[in-house]
Structure 1
Amino acid sequence: MSPIQLAIIGLGKIARDQHLPSLAANPNYHLVAVASPHNKLDGTPSYPNIETLLREHPEIEAVSLCCTPQVRYEIARYALEQNKHVMLEKPPGATLNEVAGLVDMAQQRQLALFATWHSREAAAVEPAREWLAGRTIRSVQVTWKEDVRVWHPGQAWIWKAGGLGVFDPGINALSIITRILPQPLVLKDAELHFPSNCETPIAAELTLQGPGGLPVRAEFDFRQTGPQSWDIDIETDDGRLLLSKGGSVMHVDGKQTVSAPDREYANLYARFAPLVRERRLDVDLAAFRLVADAFMCGRRSVVDPFIE
């Protein structure tokens, strides 16, 4: 079977750190070219935009969008109009309605559309889901705190409307809990903290509720220094489960049961290949809907300005 002819759109930090190495290690793909308004990839044809790229390389079958969420919809729509399969970085768009439009278009054209959630591919997520399946969950505490200056240096887009702010990492936690916990989860309360010079929050606290009144509390913060916290602590009727390091490590009652190297993006590309060949969609918006609800219903407070 010949490799899928693929292009990357948006050549920023996440593309270089994760997408390029994952593609290079996967024989199901051949990276034909990249499109990015400000960056080029040595040894690979590089173009300023997707229109030029697809005009020069009609052989491209699929595109992987690593651009910022504010511009993702127009680029994805253009790719689908050109009958190209589309893989979307998280979040899949700036609004729910944008993604709904892409779903309709992909279905009409029988093209693959993959809204990716890389944190769901962390090593301990599926083992955690299996362990929880036979137990009664009593409470869930999510603590997702990191230093924005380390993980998003110089990325002004994250502070602009549509950039999500602290929900850019926070949605990773929500993507995990919407995979491993009983559904549906609904937002009961939220407080969002906006720097006085930013359009998106730097911190947030959410209270969610699951079936039977299951309490789920989440704290997100971009101001963490020192050790970073990406933890999900779950109390059940039969012990305590702790997911740490973004879902790559699992402890049950203090004993480590899962720990594995990062293969999140490698797993995403492994999943995208059959979607392309079978012309199928994989679009789960449960985590994205919770973020949208928080922006719609959450209380807002103003905090100190963010200085890079």
Structure 2
Amino acid sequence: MSGDRPSPLVIERILRDRQGVWQQIVADDDLNALTGRMLASSAVALACYGAVLGAFHGVLMALTSAVKLPLLFLITLAICLPTLYLFNLVFGARLSVRQSLALVMVAITVTSMLAVAFAPISLFFLITAPDYGFFKLLNVAILTLSAVVGLRFLTGGMQVLNAHGLLAPTVTAPPAVVAPPAAVAAPAAVPAPAVPAQPVPVGAVPAQAVAEPVAVAAPASANGTVTAAFPPGMVPPGHPGAARPWATPPMRRSEPEQRPASMTLLYVWILLFGFVGTQLAWTLRPFVGSPGENFALFRSIEGNFYAEILRTIGNLF
């Protein structure tokens, strides 16, 4: 396992050595330093992107957005992290609080770094096409795409933890039961080979000989063993009988490994994280600032985030 190696950017290690990061989280090795570096880098990246958002309205809005955007992600994490941790405990997972925090911080770090990578594109459209509706939808799309990529890292990390048994409860296997030795079957009598029939003149065979049953040779199977060809239910006592293909139950394919409940609840938690984050963003607005309104640190709470996005799309087209 690779430790927290010195690197100019923690995002470089996450992208280049993600397996090493997952292994460090699994081993719970020096997670305080790793989480601190991810927290610092995410705050700086989100502050830079928030400044680009607020620059549409002016300097004051750029400064306030540079503070409010990191707070948006950190407050959302503080609200939703206890739910994720308790979900894991209820369903038998063995994750600690530090492991859960480090896992979610990986997703937030990837999201923030990808968002700041889009900052030059957002700044370009701010300079060349300063349309409020288009600029707002562009940045909503950038943040949504960045969050989707970051959450994919979160699910990938949870799958690694699941492979190491940290999500499923440990189950003690029952002791193996030794089956008694099977009884040795008596060797079956092999019928004598048939003698080819010779033509016999009429009248040379006594009547008693004609009345007696004639032994018929049993056909040989493909592997050379001789099997008796008796009608169903007419096998004489002591004879092994013909092999029935349905006597042995067919072999079933091994059942696929069931996904632990923690993985299913992770997707529920991701939806919860998204709803809490969007509602909090609507509460902390403005981040961009309407061009026809004066500077305001906060706006009155009215409507909701999704209705505003649909209204903006309708006005744009």
Considering the TM-score relative to the shorter chain, is it more than 0.5?
Answer: no
Query: TM-score, structure 2 length as denominator?
Result: 0.21
Q: Give the structure with the larger strand fraction.
A: 1
Structure showing greater radius of gyration is 2
Tell me which of the two structures has the higher relative contact order, counting C-alpha pairs closer than 8 angstroms and 6 or more residues apart.
2
- When you count helix as a share of all residues, which structure comes out higher? 2
The normalised TM-score by structure 1 is: 0.21
